[in-house]
Amino acid sequence: MVWYVCTVNQVGPASDGTETPAPVVYINLTETGGAFENVWFYAANGIQRQLLEVGTSAIAQGRDVAVGAVEPNPGNSPYTEVSRFYGFVPPVVPLAPVDFHLRSLISAPMGGPNQFTLAVGWDGDYDSEVSFEINWKTLDGLLTESQSAAPNSDGATITLNGGFTYELSVVAVNSVGKSAPSNTVTIAIPAGPPDPPQVSYAQLSAAVAPLLHDASNVGLLIKGSKFAANETVAVALQWTAFGSTGPHVLAPVTADSSGAFEAWFTGVDPNINGLCPVLVPPGQPQPAQRFFVCASGQSSRQTVSASAGPFTCGLG
Amino acid sequence: MAWVTCKVNEVGPASDGTETPAPVIYINLTDIAGSFANYWFFIEDGIQNEALAVAIAAMNYTKKVVVGLDPPNAGNTPYTGISRLYLQTS
């Protein structure tokens, strides 16, 4: 038996065929590598109906087939037998990763004073990837960089310099090539402190919670602690629903004497005081919402982050 | 039996297959969770034609299949059997 990749030209039954018990099924093939053209074969006994089904589908879809057959005779007479006949999907680039999002941002403990470690994550089906590639650039386009991640991974950490706003995305890579890019996320990273604290104590959390003044709707409750007493804290967040939006900069908050603060994010639509509902086209379901919050103490120069979600309006 | 969601890479009959009475149908799958890629299985006896139809539809319409199978052997030999094969809508 020899293996060929072929285009199916014709396939069908013949009541007057003699090569096998009925039904005799003949198939006309052209080998894509040029070994033969418009050559007839017959389906081996026992697989006539199945070869017919795969063959008709290949013609309908314009797809090639993998064929295990006896090498055709000179002059194509007598016909030889096809014993294996597989429809196949030709290899293509992988599907783009989805739900690319930020996980955490911390001052790089071993990096320079202006370096931050950003953790990112993504989802997607396994697509025979050999790697992933995280790409980022500054908004001015002057800096473009990338970093590889292992196949089957769903996240990575990268090191970024402070003082820039970055756009990031990820692509999947297989033996054929690269996927389309995932969704893009944007993050503004503050300039790092000239003398970073030896140990960062500040903490930040974020969670979707009922609004204090309207329990029928929800907002994002952001809580910080262990900042410097009474210091001003800048808070910004990335909000992802249909697409990534932001950074949304909240009004500066002042930590109390213990270094703690609370802040609310209730969306950006002035007509809706809360996160629900997200305005969607008619008939579309409510999207999953994700949040990535970054807080920077103006005197302590501590920057910490937190993430929340996915949260979907109406699902609790 | 294990349940796995897969992409169908190849499917078709083999007159020289031995795992079941004719027709022997072989199918090549990739687990979308990444536990195996491009592994061959055979369709258990009694559902060959139906599984072939489902697998062809999956390829033609770029759909996934939910598969009940005996976990593949190391090195993908010998092939293991598939006893359930469901076309998935998304």
Which domains, and CATH codes, for chain B? Answer: 2-87 (2.40.50.110)
Residue at which a domain ends, from A32, A54, A87: A87
- pLDDT mean over A219-231: 91
CATH at residue A33: 2.40.50.110
C-alpha A309/C-alpha A206 separation (Å) is 9
* % of residues, chain A, pLDDT over 90: 51
Pair (A76, A163) in one structural domain: no
Q: Is residue A292 part of a domain?
A: yes
C-alpha A305/C-alpha A204 separation (Å) is 6
Residue at which a domain ends, from A87, A118, A140: A87
C-alpha A125/C-alpha B63 separation (Å) is 12
Pair (A41, A173) in one structural domain: no
Range of the domain at A42: 2-87
Taking contacts as CB-CB distances below 8 angstroms, the residues of chain B near A60 are 60
Residue found by looking up tokens 């797809």 in the block: A63
Pair (A109, A61) in one structural domain: no
Q: What own/partner pairs with CB < 8 Å and gap ≥ 24 does A258-261 have? A: A258/A225, A258/A229, A259/A202, A259/A224, A259/A225, A259/A226, A259/A227, A259/A228, A259/A229, A259/A231, A260/A223, A260/A224, A260/A225, A260/A226, A260/A227, A261/A223, A261/A224, A261/A227, A261/A233
What pLDDT is stored for residue A191 in this prediction? 76
Pair (A73, A112) in one structural domain: no
Pair (A158, A234) in one structural domain: yes
pLDDT at B90 over 70: no
CATH at residue A231: 2.60.40.10
- pLDDT mean over A76-104: 92
What pLDDT is stored for residue B73 in this prediction? 95
Pair (A189, A277) in one structural domain: yes
Pair (A62, A135) in one structural domain: no
Work out the mean pLDDT of chain A and round it to a whole number.
Answer: 88
- pLDDT mean over B15-35: 95
Pair (A138, A256) in one structural domain: yes
Nearest Cβ partner of A54 from B12, B15, B24?
A: B12
Q: Is residue A92 part of a domain?
A: no
pLDDT at B20 over 90: yes
Neighbouring residues of A201: CB distance < 8 A, sequence distance ≥ 6: A226, A302
pLDDT digits (tens, 9 = 90+) for B29-85: 999 998 999 999 999 999 999 999 999 999 999 899 999 999 999 999 999 999 999
Pair (A46, A104) in one structural domain: no
- Domain tally, chain A: 2
Give the model's confidence band at A197: pLDDT under 50 very low, under 70 low, under 90 confident, else very high: very low
pLDDT digits (tens, 9 = 90+) for A286-306: 888 888 898 888 877 788 888
Helices B48-60 and A48-61 cross at an angle (nearest 10°) of 10
What pLDDT is stored for residue B46 in this prediction? 94
What pLDDT is stored for residue A117 in this prediction? 85
Q: Is residue A47 part of a domain?
A: yes
Pair (A252, A151) in one structural domain: yes
Cβ-Cβ contacts under 8 Å between A and B: the total is 97
Give the model's confidence band at A316: pLDDT under 50 very low, under 70 low, under 90 confident, else very high: low
CA A206 to chain centre: 24
What pLDDT is stored for residue A106 in this prediction? 73
- pLDDT mean over A16-29: 94
Q: Is residue A93 part of a domain?
A: no
Give the model's confidence band at A198: pLDDT under 50 very low, under 70 low, under 90 confident, else very high: very low
The residue of chain A with its CA nearest to that of B61 is A61
Look up the ipTM and state it: 0.88
Pair (A243, A140) in one structural domain: yes
- Contact status, residue A42 vs residue A73, Cβ threshold 8 Å: no
Q: Is residue A234 part of a domain?
A: yes
- B47 close contact with A: CB closer than 8 A: no
First-residue to last-residue Cα distance in chain B: 23
Taking contacts as CB-CB distances below 8 angstroms, the residues of chain A near B11 are 54, 86-88
pTM passes above 0.80 = no
Contact between chains at A84 and B14 (C-beta distance less than 8 A)? yes
Residue found by looking up tokens 């104590």 in the block: A201
